[in-house]
Amino acid sequence: MEIKILGTGCPKCAKLEKVTREVVSEMSIDATVTKVEDIMDIMAFGVMTTPALVVDGKVVLKGRVPSADEVKQLLTK
């Protein structure tokens, strides 16, 4: 699984990255988590509000920080 955190470095983006990495570790998910901060790369996903979560190339969440439980649901769909 490939997970990307889209965000320019704001506190909400950092929180989403932290929560996502914790969930991946806790659930022992075989995933690569990367942070995308370049605005042009973020816009290439059609995202205008950050933070955003991309799983295997698909934007599954944008514009807010989800709870850990919501991240678990998004990653296990």
More confidently predicted of 5 and 8:
5
pLDDT at site 68: 96
The active-site residue out of 1, 2, 10, 34 is 10
The active-site residue out of 3, 5, 13, 42 is 13
pLDDT at site 22: 97
Tens digits of residue pLDDT in 9-66: 899 999 999 999 999 999 999 999 999 999 999 999 999 999 999 999 999 999 999 9
pTM flag (> 0.85): yes
63 catalytically annotated: no
The count of other CB atoms within 10 Å of the CB of residue 23 is 23
The domain locations on the chain are 2-75
| C-alpha neighbours within 13 Å on the C-beta side of residue 71 | 25
**Class of CATH domain 2-75:** alpha beta
70 catalytically annotated: no
pLDDT at site 77: 79
3-state secondary structure of 63: coil
3-state secondary structure of 58: strand
pLDDT at site 9: 87
